[in-house]
Amino acid sequence: MSAAGRLGRLLSIPSVRALLCQVAAFALTLASVYLLTRAGASPSYLLAALLQGGFAALLTWRWRLASWWIAIAFLFPLALFGTSGLDLPPALFLGVFLFMLVLYWSTFRTQVPYYPSGKSAWAAVAAQLPQDRPIRVIDIGSGLGGLVLDLARRRPDAQVTGIELAPLPWLASWLRACARASRARFILGDYEQLDFGSFDAVFAYLSPAAMTALWQKARREMRPGSMLMSYEFAIEGQPPTLSVCLQDTGRTLYIWHF
Residues 172-189 have pLDDT tens digits of: 999 999 999 999 999 999
pLDDT in tens, 93-124: 666 666 555 555 554 444 445 566 789 999 99
Q: Mean of the per-residue pLDDT values for the chain?
A: 87
Mean pLDDT of 24-39: 94
User: What's the predicted TM-score (pTM) here?
Assistant: 0.65
> DSSP for the chain?
--HHHHHHHHHTSHHHHHHHHHHHHHHHHHHHHHHHHHTT----HHHHHHHHHHHHHHHHHHTT--HHHHHHHHHHHHHHHHHHTTT--HHHHHHHHHHHHHHSTTHHHH--------HHHHHHHHHHS-SSS--EEEEET-TTSHHHHHHHHH-TTSEEEEEESSHHHHHHHHHHHHHTT---EEEES-GGGS-GGG-SEEEE---GGGHHHHHHHHHHHPPTT-EEEEES---TT---SEEEE-TTT--EEEEEE-
* Span 65-72, average pLDDT: 81
Domains of the chain are: 3-87 (no CATH), 119-257 (3.40.50.150)
